[in-house]
Structure 1
Amino acid sequence: MMAHKTTFTLFTCAAALLGIAACNNNQSVSGATASKDSFNIKVNIKKFGDGYAKLIHRGADYRNPETIDSVPVKSGQFVFTGKLKQPEMMMVQVAAGDWTFGFDVFAENADITVDADTAGSKYYDQTQYGGSKWAQLEDFTVTGSPGNDVWKTYESDPAIKQYDSVITKFYQISQQQKDKDAEYAYRDKADSVSKLQTAAKLKWIDDYSKKNPSSVVGAYIFSQLYTFNESNLRLTQVDSMLHNFTGDAASSNYYKYVADNHGKRVALTPGHAAPDFTLRKRDSSSFTLSSLKGKYVMIDFWASWCHPCRQAIPHWKKVYDQYHSKGLEIVSVSDDSKWDAWKKAMDVEKMPWTQVCDEFPEKNMPARVGSLYMTTFIPFYVLLDKDGKILVYSGDEKAITDKLQEVMGGPSLAKNID
C-alpha cells in the first residue's frame, strides 16, 4: 500500500447505514430501566454543569451522521434511551458554552452507565478555520456494555499498544523539522512502525473472530482497521478475515461495508477494466479517460499540497520523455479542492501531460474519482494497457516504471527513483 516515500492518507469509503428504531427524547435524569430490546445509557460527567447532549449514529463509514436522541444535561447528568437492531459504536456529544465534548460508546440494548471527567480532555479550537471548539473526552468508564468491554480489551492489548509511543514520537519529531525531506523521512519511519502495529491488530482480530464469529463488535473492530489501514492489508488477508464472520456479525453494516469496499478493490486488480471518468481541465473543458483508448495510460493521483507527490514529478517527466512517443499518456488527477492552489502548482511544475481536477460532491468528504479508484493515499498510480485494462495498481513508482519498461522497452529508469 505504501510507496517508498511518505504518502498522504485520504479517507475513502462507501456509504452504509445501520437500522435504528425511533428513540425517545427529553428523558428524565433518572431514566427508565431498559428491557432486553432497548438501551438505557446513563451518563455522569463530574463538575460539568448544564448543557445539551446528543447520541449520534455515524454508520460504518462515518458519513451522514444522524442524531438519534438529544436530551438536556443537568449538573453533568443525562440519559439516552431507545432501541437498536444490533449493537453499534456511537458518538456522544455534550455541549456546554462554546465547547462541545465528545466520546464514543458501544451502545447495545442493555443498561449502560458512563462515568466521565473532563480532566485530561484534548481540546481543539478550529474557529480560525471556520470550525468550532470541540474536545475529545479521554477520562471515562463504561459499564454494562459487553461490546465496549471487548473494544477496550482490544485497545489496551500490549502487543498493539506498544507501538503507540513510538509512532507518536516519530510524528512529533517530524513536525519539528524545518526541511521538508527530513520531515517526511520521520513520517516514513512512523509509517513503518504503523505497519507493524497493523499486523498486531490483524492477529488480535483474527484470533477473536475465530472464537467469536458472530460478534458484531468483532466486525466493528475489523471495519475500523480496514477503514484506516486498508492500504496496509493484502487482499487475501481481507478475504480471509471476512470468512471468519457469521450470523449477526456477517449481517451487520460493519461487515457489509468492508465486504462492499473489498469487492470494489478486487475489481481494480490487474486484468479488470479501469472505471471511466470525466473531469474538467484547467480551461474548464471536459476530459474523458476512455478517449485515450489505444494508448498506454498512467493515472497519477496527486495534489498541490502533497510533498511526496511533487517530489515524484521529475521522475515522471523522464518517464514521459522516454515513452510518450511510443504511445504513453499520463493523466494527473488533482485532489485539490481549491483550483487556485492547483493552478499555482501546475505553473510551478510545468507538467506536459493532461491535467484534470477531481470533484468533491460532498463537503468535507473524499473526491469522486479518487473514491472510484479507492485511493486511500497519494501519490497513487494506476497503469492501463491499450484496451483500458489495469496493468498495475500501486503507490510504488518503481512498480509502474518497471512495468512500463517491460511492455514498452527502452533503458531502465528505476535508478532515478529515490
Structure 2
Amino acid sequence: MNKTSLRPFLLKAIALVLIANNAVAQKKAPQFVITAKVAHMTDSVVYLNYGTMGSSKTDTVKAINGSFSFKGHVEEPVPGFIFTKTYKVKIELFVTNTPISIVGDVDSMYNTKVTGKGVTQEFEAFSQKLMDNRKRTIALYQKAYDLKQSGDSVAAKALQAKADSQYNWEFKARIAYPSEHPNSYVGAKELLAYTSTITLPAAIKVFDKLDPSIKNSNIGKEIAARIDLLSKVEEGKPAQEFTQTTPDGKSVTLSSYKGRYVLIEFWASWCGPCRAENPNLLKQYKLYNSKGFDILSVSLDKDKEPWLKAVEHDALPWTQVSDLKGWNNEVAVLYGIRAVPASFLVDPSGKIVATGLRGETLNQKLESLFGKTN
C-alpha cells in the first residue's frame, strides 16, 4: 500500500478513535439521578434549581401522582432546591453525581427524607438536626402560649426563655459548622449565607481557615468574591457612588447628598419588616432632617404600581429611587444586598459610618450624632 492510499485509511481510523473516545467519555460522565415520591401532591410541574448563588440552573419536569425525577451532571457538589409553583413542595438538598431518593408528604414537608451519599448525606444529617430542633422549639412555644392562656404566666415565661434559647441554637449551629468542618461544601454553603456587611470580619477569619479544596471550589470562589465586594462597602470605606431614577424619571446621585448625613435604605413594598420599620424612619426623619439628616430609599420592587402605593400608604416624604430590577437592582448588587431591609449611614464626607441600622440602634446612632430633640 503506497502513501497516497494509506492516508485516507489513517484519517478514517483516527476519526473512529476520536468518536469512540468521545462516546466512552460521555458514557463515563457521572450523573445525578433524583427520584422523588411526595404524597398528597397536586402540582403537576416541579422545578429544581441548583448551583451557587452567582451561577445556578433550573430544570423542569412533570410530576405524575406525586412522582417525579431529575437527571443531570454537576462538576462538584452544589446546593439544590426543589419546589413547585404553589410552594407546597419545598425541599432543600445538596446535588451530587449519585442516586438521590426523596420521600415526603405535602401535609408535613418537615418530615421529608432525602437519601444519598457523600455531601448529600452530610447535608441531610445536618438539616435533620436543625429540623428536629425546630420541632422541639415550636412545641415549647406552643406549651408556653397554652400556659399563659391558662393564667400561669410565671411558668409560661420560663418556658418561653427555654424556647428562645433553643431557637438561637440553630443560628449558633449554622455559624459553627464551617469552622468545625473546614473541608465541607455544606460548611461553605453556611458561610456564604452568613457573610454580610455586619459579619464580615468574622466571616473572613472562617474563610481563611477553609481547606484549599473548598476555597478553590465554585462556592469557595463565590465566598471570596462576596468578601471582596463587601470589603468595599464596610464601615470606614467611601460609599460607592451610584445614580438611579425617581418614579418620575429624575436621576439622583449619592454624591448630591455630600455635606449631609444620608441613610441609604434598601427596601421593597412586599417586605414586611421593611414596612414595619418605615414609621420609625419617618419619626427619625422628622426629628433630624432640619439638622442635616436625610434618607435615600432604594426599592427592590419589580413593578412600579405597588412600589408607589407603598410609598403613599406609608407617607414617606424623602427621595425614592429604583431601576425596577428586583434583586438585580444595580445599586443593590453594588452594595452586596441579599436581604432587606438593609441600610448604610453615610457621613457628610461620603464615608460609610454604620451599617444595618434599624429601630433603636438607628435612633441611638442619630441621637449620638445630632443630640436629643424634644
- Structures share fold, TM-score greater than 0.5: yes
Answering whether residue 121 of structure 2 is matched by residue 149 of structure 1, we say yes
1: distance between equivalents of 2:208 and 2:275? 40
Q: 1:59 aligns with which of 51, 56, 66?
A: 51
Aligned to 1:337: 302
What letter corresponds to residue 76 of structure 2 in structure 1? Answer: Q
For residues 379 and 33 of structure 1, do their structure 2 counterparts lie closer, same or farther at Cα, with a shift above 3 Å needed? closer
**Residue in structure 1 matched with residue 340 of structure 2 by the alignment:** 378
In the superposition, relative to structure 1, how do residues 326 and 233 fare at CA in structure 2: closer, same or farther (>3 Å)?
Answer: closer
Matched, 1:388 2:361: no
In the TM superposition, residue 223 of structure 1 has moved relative to its aligned partner by 1.7
**1:303 aligned onto 2:274:** no
2:22 — aligned with what? none
Superposed displacement of residue 292, structure 1:
1.6
Instruction: Tell me whether 1:201 sits opposite 2:166 in the alignment.
Output: no
| Distance in structure 2 (CA, Å) of the matches to 1:44 and 1:311 | 40
CA–CA separation in structure 1 for the residues paired with 2:48 and 2:113: 18
CA contact (8 A) 1:43 1:78 kept: yes
1:243 Cα offset (Å): 1.9
Identity fraction in percent:
23
Whole-Å separation in 2 of the counterparts to 1:391 and 1:400: 12
Unaligned 5+ segments in structure 1 are 1-31, 124-135, 175-188, 414-418
Query: Which residue in the other structure is 2:10 paired with?
Result: none
Q: What SS does the aligned partner of 1:156 have? A: helix
Check conservation: 2:261, 2:346, Cα contact below 8 A: yes
Match of 1:223 among 173, 185, 189: 189
Cα deviation, residue 412, structure 1:
5.6
Gaps of 5+ in 2: 1-24, 146-161
What SS does the corresponding residue of 1:329 show, helix, strand or coil?
strand
Pair 272,153 (structure 1): closer, same or farther in 2 beyond 3 Å? same
Alignment-derived partner of residue 151 in structure 2: none
Matched ranges for 1:274-353 at <5 A? 274-353=239-318
Residue deviations 1:72-125 (CA, integer Å, cap 9, x gap): 99x96978465x53333446789xxx999785654445xx334444x51469xx
Contact kept in structure 2, 1:195 and 1:232, CA below 8 Å: no
Tell me, yes or no, if the aligned pair for 1:55 and 1:80 is still in contact at 8 Å. no
RMSD: 4.5
Change (3 A) 1:304 1:150: closer
Deviations 1:181-216 (A, max 9, x none): xxxxxxxx999865431102222332222xxx3xxx
Aligned match of 1:410: 371
- CA-to-partner distance for each residue in 1:264-285, whole Å, 9 max, x for gaps? 2232221111122222213222
Amino acid at match of 1:86: E
More helix per residue: 1 or 2? 2
Paired position in structure 2 for 1:369: 331
Match of 1:162 among 133, 137, 142: 133
Name the aligned partner's letter for residue 185 of structure 2.
A
Q: Tell whether the 8 Å contact from 2:48 to 2:58 is kept in structure 1 after alignment.
A: yes
Distance 1:42 1:253 in 2: 22
| Contact 1:53 1:78 survives alignment (8 Å) | no
AA matched with 2:258? K
Q: Matched residue of 1:163: which SS?
A: helix
CA change 1:369–1:350 in 2 (3 A) is same
How far apart, in 2, do the equivalents of 1:103 and 1:317 lie?
39
2:177 and 2:187 in contact (8 A); partners too: no
Residue 85 (structure 1) aligned with residue 75 (structure 2): yes
Give the distance between the partners of 2:199 and 2:91, measured in 1 at CA.
31
- Deviations along 1:205-253, whole A, 9 cap, x unmatched? 32222xxx3xxxx2344324532x5569722331222122223211111
Once residues 375 and 368 of structure 1 are traced to their aligned partners in structure 2, the CA distance between those partners, rounded to angstroms, is 10
> 1:103 touches 1:138 (CA, 8 Å); kept in 2?
no
TM-score (norm 1): 0.62
Change in 2 beyond 3 A, CA 1:345/1:92:
closer
Cα distance in 1, alignment partners of residues 35 and 285 from structure 2 = 61
Instruction: Point out the structure with max Rg over C-alpha.
Output: 2
- In the alignment, the residues of structure 1 paired with residue 273 and residue 342 of structure 2 have an alpha-carbon distance, to the nearest angstrom, of 10
Instruction: Find the aligned partners of 1:278 and 1:399 in 2 and give their Cα distance.
Output: 28
Partner of 2:359: 397
What is the CA distance between 1:61 and its match in structure 2?
Answer: 0.8
2:350 aligned partner, one-letter code: G
8 Å CA contact 1:56–1:90 kept in 2: the answer is yes
Task: Give the equivalent residue in structure 2 for 1:120.
Answer: 105
Distance 1:396 1:91, change over 3 A: closer
1:252-271 alignment to 2 at 5 Å? Answer: 252-271=217-236
Alpha carbons of 1:324 and 1:77: their partners in 2 closer, same or farther (altered >3 Å)? closer
Distance 1:308 1:34, change over 3 A: same
Report the CA distance shift for 1:141/1:339 in structure 2 as closer, same or farther (over 3 A). Answer: closer
Q: What secondary structure sits across from 1:248 in the alignment?
A: helix
CA distance in 1, matches of 2:87, 2:278: 43
TM-aligned CA deviation for residue 357 of structure 1: 3.1
Q: For residues 318 and 100 of structure 1, what CA distance do their matches in structure 2 show?
A: 40
Question: How many aligned residue pairs are there?
Answer: 329
SS of 1:65's equivalent?
A: strand
CA contact (8 A) 1:223 1:257 kept: no
CA contact (8 A) 1:299 1:383 kept: yes
**Which residue identity does 2:189 align to in structure 1?**
S
Contact 1:297 1:331 in 2 (8 A): yes
**Shift in Å, 1:165:** 4.4
